Amino acid sequence: DIVVTQSPDSLAVSLGERATINCKSSQSVLYRPNNKDYLAWYQQKPGQPPKLLIYWASTRESGVPDRFSGSGSGTDFTLTISSLQAEDVAVYYCQQYYSTPLTFGGGTKVEIK
Amino acid sequence: EVQLVESGGGLVQPGGSLRLSCAASGFSFSRYWMSWVRQAPGKGLEWVANMKQDESEKNYVDSVRGRFTISRDNAKNSLYLQINSLRAEDTAVYYCAGGYGWYLDLWGRGTLVTVSS
């Protein structure tokens, strides 16, 4: 099974500042034949289901603000919120979909400082 | 409007069974891989199982294999999860989720399964 590890567990960022979340997989999720990384990011607000933000490591889902961006390849990935807004307070999860069992990171809670 | 609506959760004793249902609307259900994902109270997300569009492939996490069975009825735009031999550690909100591939762009609001005597 591919283990996905996120860091930090939580972070507090001032409004308008950058938030960076890291995600590491225990093996590469890059599929060489199509050169795609099978890594997604989700946002979950309290009392709500998760919402897809990013897939293929860096492709933003339709309707997701461009302050959210994903980067990285292979085993190391980053979700960046370029200018934190109040509505971005949530828990963020990365997920590998390279192989089953599909696995999620443990989550990163983002709060306002 | 795209919707996934789960039902069938509830309080069940250890060793008991439940059948969860997910009703889909507003999109081409038969073109989507469908998954069940669960979240224990105050915990993170755990993928449970998925099923290919044409029912030819099913996958499970090891902790539920042999106890849980995923199925779908494309004619009824519905996904199911039969859960047997329930344990306390199966207590969670169960989400129905789907995507063209294995990333999940559609989610329901979940149904709570509580296993307790």
The verdict on B105 touching A (C-beta cutoff 8 Å) is: yes
**What's the pLDDT score for residue A101?**
97
CA B110 to each of CA A1, A18, B22, B43, B105: distance values in angstroms, whole numbers, following the listed order: 26, 32, 9, 15, 15
Comparing CA positions, the residue from A68, A77, A5, A79 lying closest to residue A38 is A77
Could you tell me the sign of the dihedral formed by the alpha carbons of A96, A73, A106, A19, in that order? negative
| Per-residue pLDDT tens digits for A10-57 | 999 999 999 999 999 999 999 999 999 999 999 999 999 999 999 999
Contact A101 B60 (CB under 8 A): yes
* Min Cα–Cα distance to chain B from A82, Å: 23
**Cβ–Cβ below 8 Å for B102 and A38:** yes
**What local confidence, expressed as pLDDT, does residue A81 receive?**
98
- Window 66-95 of B: residues touching A by CB (8 A cutoff) are 95
The Cα of B101 is separated from the nearest Cα of chain A by a number of Å equal to 9
pLDDT digits (tens, 9 = 90+) for B2-21: 999 999 999 999 999 999 99
pLDDT tens-digit map of B57-96: 999 999 999 999 999 999 999 999 999 999 999 999 999 9
Q: What is the pLDDT of residue B101?
A: 87
Measured in angstroms, the CA of A38 and the nearest CA of chain B are apart by 8
